[in-house]
Amino acid sequence: MFSLKNKKAIITGGGSGIGKAMAILFAKQGAEVHIIELSEESARSAIDEIIATGGHAYTHICNVAKQQEVVSTFREIGPHDILINNAGIAHIGKADTTSEEEFDRVVNVNVKGVYNCLFASIPLMKKNRGGVIINMASIAAWSGLADRFAYSMAKGAVAAMTLSVAKDYISENIRCNSISPARVHTPFVDGFLQKNYPGNEKEMFGKLSKTQPIGRMAKPEEIASLALYLCSDEASFITGTDYPIDGGFLKLNT
């Protein structure tokens, strides 16, 4: 079950965190994995691990916020079966503390970046007679998170794009779903704590973990497993749906 043999997958931001976990798992399940990152160095660890275990993986240097770069990269990769829109940036701030420059940066990466990849991918999927798209949304799209104005707005846009794409291309055998994680323990979280709470990293990690009713953060591999299912033939009846993977955050918090 959940084989991706003979399938080609594109994963943006596939060099670290959730994207890296997806790249490694998808390759293990037989996919040819194409990682899109800002630099060769960013993708090196994931590529090396995949190749060391006999998988097939390639790096493509591209800024998802720049449409021509994205279109050229996707043409280079060619027909593909899976697109994971995972690349994104975080931001802390309220509506009146978020500068225009910061707002534009979040939109350019987290919203326009997803659009650019959809714009480049869908024509190739249509020629390939179908495909699967996963957009990484967030519980921030569905819940009021303090100090996450621009980030929450962007993830709400991702959720809306998911529904639109699912409806527009259902007759062309293209499925599109989104995944909304709560907090996931990635190197980004560790770096965030070191930068903002030096000396109190352990205490803050515990507090952030407990915001999920299940009492911990997710592991990147757990998000990757859900993505694998949604991209597999076993999920061929699923489209236009968001999947919270949140340790009970949305439904059980009071």
* CATH number of the domain where residue 159 is located: 3.40.50.720
Q: How far is CA 50 from the centre of its chain?
A: 19
1 in any annotated domain? no
Name 87's Cβ contacts closer than 8 Å, sequence gap at least 6.
Answer: 12, 13, 19, 36, 64, 109, 113
31 and 112, same structural domain?
yes
96 in any annotated domain? yes
162 and 120, same structural domain?
yes
Any catalytic annotation for residue 229? no
CA-to-CA separations, 150 to 104, 156, 157, 181, 188, in angstroms, rounded: 9, 10, 11, 17, 18
State the residue range of the domain holding 205.
185-217
156 and 47, same structural domain?
yes
2 in any annotated domain? no
Unique residue bearing structure tokens 């205490």:
203
User: Per DSSP, what are the bridge partners of residue 198?
Assistant: none
57 and 178, same structural domain?
yes
State the first-to-last Cα distance of the chain, in angstroms, to the nearest integer.
38
The pLDDT score that the predictor gives to residue 97 is: 98
Instruction: Report if pTM > 0.75.
Output: yes
Tell me which amino acid residue 254 is: T
Name 83's Cβ contacts closer than 8 Å, sequence gap at least 6.
Answer: 9, 10, 117, 118, 121, 125, 131, 132, 133, 134
202 and 157, same structural domain?
no
H-only helix segments in the chain? 17-28, 40-52, 67-77, 100-106, 112-127, 149-168, 187-196, 201-209, 220-231, 249-252
The pLDDT score that the predictor gives to residue 192 is: 83
74 and 50, same structural domain?
yes
The pLDDT score that the predictor gives to residue 196 is: 83
Is the separation of the CB atoms in 144 and 251 below 8 Å? no
Q: How far is CA 53 from the centre of its chain?
A: 23
206 and 89, same structural domain?
no
In sign, the C-alpha dihedral spanning 13, 171, 228, 180 is positive
Please list the pLDDT of the chain residue by residue as tens digits (254 residues): 999 999 999 999 999 999 999 999 999 999 999 999 999 999 999 999 999 999 999 999 999 999 999 999 999 999 999 999 999 999 999 999 999 999 999 999 999 999 999 999 999 999 999 999 999 999 999 998 999 999 999 999 999 999 999 999 999 999 999 999 999 999 889 988 998 899 999 999 999 999 999 999 999 999 999 999 999 999 999 999 999 999 999 999 86
208 and 92, same structural domain?
no
162 in any annotated domain? yes
254 in any annotated domain? no
The pLDDT score that the predictor gives to residue 254 is: 67
The pLDDT score that the predictor gives to residue 173 is: 98
**Burial (CB count <10 Å: 0-12, 13-18, 19+), residue 205:** middle
167 and 87, same structural domain?
yes
Which of 151, 197, 229, 243 is the catalytic position? 151
Looking at the 3D structure of the chain, how many domains does it have? 2
